[in-house]
Structure 1
Amino acid sequence: MASVGEKLQMEITDLGHDGQGVGRHDGQVVFVSGALPGDTVEVRLQVVARRHLVGQLQRVLTPSPDRRRPPCILADNCGGCSLQPLNDAAEAEWKQRSLEQTLQRIGGLNAPVRPLLAADPTLGYRNRALIPLERSGDGTLRAGYYRRGSHRIVNMARCPVLDPRIDAMIAPLKADLEASDWPIDRHGGDLEAEDGPGLRHLGLRVGAATGELLLTLISSHDELPGLETLADAWRQRWPELVGVCLNLQPRPTNRLMGDETRVIRGRDWLNETFSGLRFRIAADTFFQVNTRQAERLVPHLMEALGPGPGDASLLDAYCGIGTYSLPLAAAGWHVTGLELHPRAVAMARLNAAANELEGRAQFDQADVPLVLEERLQGMQALVLDPPRKGLSPAATAAILAAPPSRIAYVSCDPAALARDLAQLCASGVYRLNWVQPIDFFPNTSHVEALAALERR
């Protein structure tokens, strides 16, 4: 019987869904962060549960042939990029196989899975960063992502997966924020915590095509003396910085940004070009972090929906700022977008107007599961891009009650996708034509997928 603290040697044979190495001991699965398939490792057991064990990596005794020197010096500690030690070809192969196995294991689906659209480049691709902040005991400001499995910040001055234009801002911004003496709310908005309220995160965003920059400080309050002076200095230092904003998030919650964003200098949105169209992206609205890969998905999305008649109508559920709605409208569809967040709806309408697509794209604020059945009436096609947890039972039921001819389902969680596809296909209403994986998040265990369904 294994015990906590015991040291074991084992071969790692696979990766778990969060990128942990997977081995076995006496028939039990052992999860080991930092270990790769093909490694022989020594681990110290940290968790002994009935169905699995968790081990802490002590040494790599024999490295996997797919192991490489990570491009980031913090990769062994930072929880942001769990697969940096795995070479690109092996990562792509694992993501392809993992998606196929998940569809089969959870959904019982033997769908044709197309070859992964691998990312190129695999570094410098993220157009947005939300970086946690804290002060150490001596007052030094620390900024960085959390250590794996903890809330301890791994201090950094750069991050190679970020677009170089925002990566270059981190070190000088850290120095300015440290010199400000503003309090840091490292307890996540707990106003009764010992450290008191203060700054929580540093937000940076870049237009991949335009180069415009946005800087947003996320704080539990607005008492930041000298912020306007700093904002002026930042805009002088970086001419591409079109706005400096303050987002207020006073609540003790895991939600990173609050409902109120104030413009300190400039504006609270940047211009971007996506799929040949002009977009405004605000400091507090969602946009895919890998612009190049999101654009590569658009032709496959159009293929999944098929050629519609000239007056074909399409519903885009969870449409955001119109990222996919507007390219589809430009291609000839009459698109109605549904989105819960009012700020995103407002931006989608502005983006439609900027591209002279108001006649082909309209956007409404709505809680999708509550209105989906009604809004699907008369629609030929449906685009789904739900949150990571996938469709709610109410949303699935609404689709089956008013099924459109075709569905294009974009998912960032293979397990949720497999569950939802199984429910849609088990009804006998739909058949699954193909699934296209695409790597939006190289150096991590995450993989995006597009599923094409057709009514029988």
Structure 2
Amino acid sequence: MADVVQTGLRLGQTLEVGIDGTGHDGQGVGRWNDLVVFIPGALPGERVQARLRRQAKRHLEADLLAVLDSSADRRRPPCILADHCGGCSLQHCVDSAQALIKAEQVTQALRRLSGLAITPEPIWSAERPLGYRNRALIPLERSADGSIRAGYYRRGSHRIVNMNRCPVLDPRIDRLVEPLKHDLSQTDWPVDVNLSDQGGLRHLALRVGHHTGEVLITLVSSHGDLPGLGDLAQGWMERWPEVVGVSLNLQPKASNVVLGPDTQLIGGRPWLLERFAGVELRIASDTFFQVNTAQAERVIPLLVAFFQAASGPRLVDAYCGIGTFALPLAAAGASVLGLERHGQAVQQAQANAQRNGLSRARFLEGDVGALLADQLQGADGLVVDPPRKGLSEATLAAIHASPPRRLAYISCNPATLARDLAALCGTSSYGLVQLQPVDFFPQTSHVECVALLQRP
């Protein structure tokens, strides 16, 4: 493959490129003089004009200037900010074609990184491709005129694209963005999302119960010196009865991690009530919970059928969070032990188990890999739902040492899923029974997968 340094290219140069694929971040992928070119906003089958933005040794990155030959799958994005905001990468693509792109992403990851010969099941597309997100974490900054700007970052930068509405958000929290911006603009609180000056407000966090409609408002700040916050919180709860709580989260570190470890209740209660797959959950403002409730619920019957939970197997749920999957499996008849390193999540899981009368669900706090080494012996099945980086070496080692007969792997990253499946289907002799892609994140390039594995 040619070396970019030898091509005589210069940054800002205009290129004409035919697009024949899609990258893992939703970019169009084409070739220019045998070099791979990544162009956000371009679709397969198109010929586009683009401006060179970055040169690497074996690929180029360019910005879309014009679509010369348009794909039949191109549409006008539902959001007027889609061309600028980095929150979504596929709004310019019709929903049916988004499904094909994501299915191909999963297939290619398996082929390249796992070596497994299996065809994924047809992707489960979302019934609601817009208005599905039950949570928003929105960066804030104050303009020179004193008004608050709120919005997601421009692609590849930390520059906020100011917004009043976001069609991907659940409408019950989307409608709060503009009035909350207005109210915050009336304060004299410092606002500094990147902690480049004096600190202050950093993010606005909103969460809604998909089935209950209850809403939590959380302000994220580097400090708690926000005079009048209590009165403002009380006013919000009176103005919008669905707002059941207002909290302040403190994140003093200059970090890409939005939420800090300390959340203080300002008014109302610190949790909202949600009904999920037949159980009731208390979910706090800083709790991890799947952002697409409806799609997450579709996974539960698949897991129940796979583990035949009605007959009462013993299951271990690794990276269990607040018991999103453990509690419905226990409600279906399984005895489930959840493992999670975040102590607050374990406390919430235990409280939710008690609330639902699920004595068959227990939870332990600690390093998942270390706990698995002791808890897998005698287990009939294992559920793993790791972060994007996939399974740790300790977790894989524990599975290899005591592999249960059935394993369900829930993944938000096809690349690390493929890597881990190669290890599981090798050393531990698992066979891949089913791979089910699920679109949890319409309008973006992200895709969830449920891999069902079984030993002979």
Is the Cα–Cα contact under 8 Å of residues 439 and 448 in structure 2 kept in the other structure? yes
Q: Report whether the alignment pairs 1:96 with 2:98.
A: no
SS of equivalent residue, structure 1 residue 432: strand
Residue 179 (str. 1) matches residue 186 (str. 2): yes
Query: Does the residue aligned with 2:265 lie in a helix, a strand or coil?
Result: strand
Structure 1 runs (4+) greater than 3 angstroms displaced: 306-310
1:364 match:
364
Corresponding residue for 1:432? 432
Look up the match of 1:333: 334
Q: Which residue of 2 aligns with 1:268?
A: 270
- 1:317 is matched with 318
Q: Give how far 1:318 is off.
A: 0.6
Q: Could you tell me how far 1:276 is from its partner in structure 2?
A: 1.2
1:395 counterpart = 2:390 = no
Q: Does 1:219 align with 2:218?
A: no
CA distance in 2, matches of 1:92, 1:240: 34
- TM-score relative to the length of structure 1: 0.97
2:14 aligned partner: 7
Deviation at 1:308, TM superposition (A): 6.8
Q: Which runs of 5+ in 2 are unaligned?
A: 1-6
2-side partners of 1:82 and 1:3: how far apart? 26
Asked whether the equivalents of residues 244 and 265 of structure 1 are also in contact (C-alpha less than 8 Å), the reply is: yes
**Mapping 1:72-83, distance limit 5 Å:** 72-83=79-90
Q: Deviations over 1:300-321 (max 9, x none)?
A: 12233245743x2100001111
Q: Which residue of structure 2 lines up, in the alignment, with residue 118 of structure 1?
A: 125
Q: Name the CA distance, whole Å, in 2 between partners of 1:376 and 1:329.
A: 17
Which of 58, 69, 77 is matched with 2:76 structurally?
A: 69
User: What is aligned with 1:210?
Assistant: 212
- Supply the distance in 2 between the matched residues of 1:137 and 1:35 (Cα, whole angstroms): 35
Paired residues of 1:275 and 1:295 also in contact (CA < 8 A): yes
- Secondary structure of the 2:198 match is coil
> In 2, distance between residues paired with 1:127 and 1:307?
29
Task: Report deviation, 1:4.
Answer: 2.0
Do structure 1's residue 162 and structure 2's residue 208 form an aligned pair?
Answer: no
**Deviations along 1:38-78, whole A, 9 cap, x unmatched?**
22111111112211001111111222110001000000010
CA distance in 2, matches of 1:304, 1:37: 36
- Supply the distance in 2 between the matched residues of 1:206 and 1:309 (Cα, whole angstroms): 35
**Residue equivalent to 2:351:** 350
Structure 2 counterpart of 1:238, which letter? W
Q: Is the 8 Å Cα contact of residues 70 and 84 (structure 1) preserved in structure 2? A: yes
Contact 2:400 2:428 in 1 (8 A): no
Is 1:127 aligned to residue 106 of structure 2?
no
| Match among 193, 199, 202 for residue 201 of structure 2 | 199
What SS does the aligned partner of 1:68 have? coil
Residue 299 of structure 1 aligns with which residue? 301
1:111/1:433 contact within 8 Å kept: no
Query: Contact between 1:3 and 1:45, CA under 8 Å: does it hold in 2?
Result: yes
1:143 aligned residue: 150
Q: Which amino acid aligns with 1:9?
A: E
**Contact 1:135/1:186 (<8 A) preserved:** no
Q: For 2:77 and 2:182, how far apart are their aligned partners in 1? A: 27
What does residue range 282-297 of structure 1 map to in structure 2 within 5 Å?
282-297=284-299
Secondary structure in 1 matching 2:338: strand
Deviation digits for residues 24-51 of structure 1 (CA, Å, limit 9, x no counterpart): 0011100011111122111111112211
Alpha carbons of structure 1 residues 454 and 308: separation in structure 2 relative to 1, 3 Å: farther
Query: 1:399-414 counterparts in 2 under 5 A?
Result: 399-414=399-414
Q: Which 5+ residue runs of structure 1 have no aligned equivalent?
A: none
What do residues 320-365 of structure 1 show as CA deviations (whole Å, max 9, x unaligned)? 11110011001111000011111111110111011100x2000111
Q: Do the aligned partners of 2:346 and 2:365 also contact (CA within 8 Å) in 1?
A: yes
CA distance in 1, matches of 2:247, 2:367: 28
Please report the RMSD computed on the Cα atoms of aligned residues, expressed in angstroms: 1.1
Aligned amino acid, residue 164 of structure 1: P
Instruction: Specify the SS of the correspondent of 2:186.
Output: helix
Is 1:377 equivalent to 2:377 in the alignment?
yes
8 Å contact kept, 1:274–1:291? yes
- TM-superposed deviation, 1:136: 2.1
Q: 2:4 — aligned with what? A: none
Counterpart CA distance in 1 for 2:403 and 2:28 is: 41
- Number of paired residues? 449
Q: One-letter code of the match for 1:118?
A: S
Does the CA-based 8 Å contact 2:206-2:217 persist in structure 1?
yes
- Native 8 Å contact 1:159 1:167 kept in 2: yes
Name the aligned partner's letter for residue 363 of structure 1. Answer: F
User: Displacement, 1:428?
Assistant: 5.0
CA deviation after TM superposition for structure 1 residue 138, in Å: 2.8
Matching of residue 20 in structure 1 with residue 27 in structure 2: yes
Separation (CA, whole Å) in 1 of partners of 2:301 and 2:118: 20
Q: How much has 1:116 moved relative to structure 2?
A: 0.5
Q: 2:239 & 2:311 partners in 1: Cα distance?
A: 52
- Asked if 2 retains the 8 angstrom alpha-carbon contact of 1:337 and 1:361, the reply is yes
Q: Is the contact between residue 309 and residue 332 of structure 2 (CA under 8 Å) also seen in structure 1? A: no
Q: Retained in 2: the 8 A contact 1:436–1:450?
A: yes
Q: Is the 8 A contact 1:304 1:407 kept in 2?
A: no
Partner of 1:85: 92
- Which amino acid is 1:10 matched to? V
Alpha-carbon offset, residue 5 of structure 1? 2.1
Q: Give deviations 1:178-224, integer Å, cap 9, x for gaps.
A: 1112101222xx4xx3x211001000000000010000000010000
Identity %: 58
For residues 175 and 72 of structure 1, what CA distance do their matches in structure 2 show?
A: 21
